[in-house]
Amino acid sequence: MRRLIPASLVVLALAVTILRAASPDPAPGRPQYTGDNQLLRPADYREWIFLSSGLGMSYSTQPGHEMFTNVFVPQWAYQEFLKSGKWPDKTMFVVEDRGSTSQGSINKAGHYQTDWMGIGVEVKDETRFPEKWAYFNFDQDPKSAAANPKAGCWTCHEQHAAVEHVFVQFYPTLKPVAKKFGTYKEAAETIQ
Ligand code: HEC
């Protein structure tokens, strides 16, 4: 009997692996976690809705050269937002950091995007996280990441974002939607 238990576990593990391979993303654009509460890196974020790019916006204490920040949200959450001006539970955002340059090919002025430098991920998951919103980094491109401490990301988003934790003041297509539904915090636009 004792020897049967490990064997059945092996079969179970195999079945899970096969099922995962058959459907790599069972809930597209929704957060997936490991058993120890680490977020799995969202693989297909480049197929989500593109909200906007910043160039050299600085909100991090990390020194570094001027980067582009490209922001994405899954299609399903974007559609919900258009109907309500609110972010549904399980919404995720990706901010992708890209290098910038002005020298290349025929370019004479301005800046264009270059290498991938990492992603930050924000998740609204009201049942999993007591603070409802959680923040992750995938700079070294690992498969999963633990939530960052509150002071690292959460606090700034809580204090300065225009709609819940999201910087809608910088996303020109979302701003009129939030204003229409009265979910937009005008005070977040005040220059500081
Ligand atoms: C000092 C303020 C500040 C801190 C700290 C901060 N952010 Fe942000 N975050 C911003 C601003 C401003 C934007 C919008 C503009 C941009 O950078 O593209 C933003 C945008 C984002 C977005 C896109 C969705 C949204 O909410 O608008 C994600 C994802 C994100 N940040 C993740 C993180 C992560 C992960 C951390 C911690 C490592 C973090 N942020 C720390 C200010 C902050």
**Residue having the nearest C-alpha atom to atom 25 of ligand 1:** 166
Indicate whether residue 93 lines ligand 1 (CB < 6 A): yes
Over residues 7-47, the pLDDT tens digits come to 665 555 555 555 555 555 667 899 999 999 999 999 999 99
**Residue having the nearest C-alpha atom to atom 41 of ligand 1:** 153
Q: b/e per residue, 183-192, with b = 16+ CB within 10 A? A: bbeeebeeee
Indicate whether residue 167 lines ligand 1 (CB < 6 A): yes
Which one is predicted more confidently, 105 or 5?
A: 105
Indicate whether 180 pLDDT > 70: yes
Lowest mean pLDDT among 41-50, 76-85, 137-146: 137-146
**Residue having the nearest C-alpha atom to atom 10 of ligand 1:** 59
Neighbours of 93 (CB within 10 A): 25
The pLDDT, as a whole number, for residue 1 is 47
Lowest mean pLDDT among 57-61, 124-128, 133-137, 161-165: 57-61
Indicate whether residue 164 lines ligand 1 (CB < 6 A): no
Placement of tokens 């980067």 in the chain: 67
Indicate whether residue 69 lines ligand 1 (CB < 6 A): yes
Ligand 1 center to 61 CA (angstroms): 12
Indicate whether residue 152 lines ligand 1 (CB < 6 A): yes
Site to substitute for ligand 1 among 72, 156, 169, most atoms within 8 A of C-beta: 156
Which one is predicted more confidently, 179 or 59?
A: 179
Which of 130, 80, 72, 78 is CA-nearest to residue 97?
72
The pLDDT, as a whole number, for residue 79 is 98
Indicate whether 154 pLDDT > 70: yes
- Please compute the mean of the pLDDT values over residues 151-174 and round it to a whole number: 97
